[in-house]
Amino acid sequence: MFDMTDAACATAPLEIFFPEGKNKQAKEYAAKVICASCPIQQECLAHAITNNELGVWGGKTEEERKHIRL
């Protein structure tokens, strides 16, 4: 695992990054906005792709990550 100490999401509500049900798209958008300013966005994205993580990681949803190859 990489060091998430400086991650922009460190103090954000967890449900934004693991959205379900009502307002899912709005929560995904909110997560992506947070990810866009994150200093470790690329490391986070690589981790999520490598480990098949659920939710929004590195500014990408699970579905979006399926189309990315490292």
pLDDT digits (tens, 9 = 90+) for 17-55: 999 988 899 999 999 999 999 999 999 999 999 999 999
Residue 3's pLDDT is 84
pLDDT for the residue 47: 94
Determine contact, residues 48/68, Cβ cutoff 8 Å. no
Q: How far apart are CA 15 and CA 69, in angstroms?
A: 27
Give the pLDDT confidence score for residue 68 in this predicted structure: 87
DSSP secondary-structure letter at 11?
Answer: G
Mean pLDDT of 7-23: 92
**Separation between Cα atoms, residue 61 and residue 30, nearest integer Å:** 12
Structure tokens, 13: 């509500």
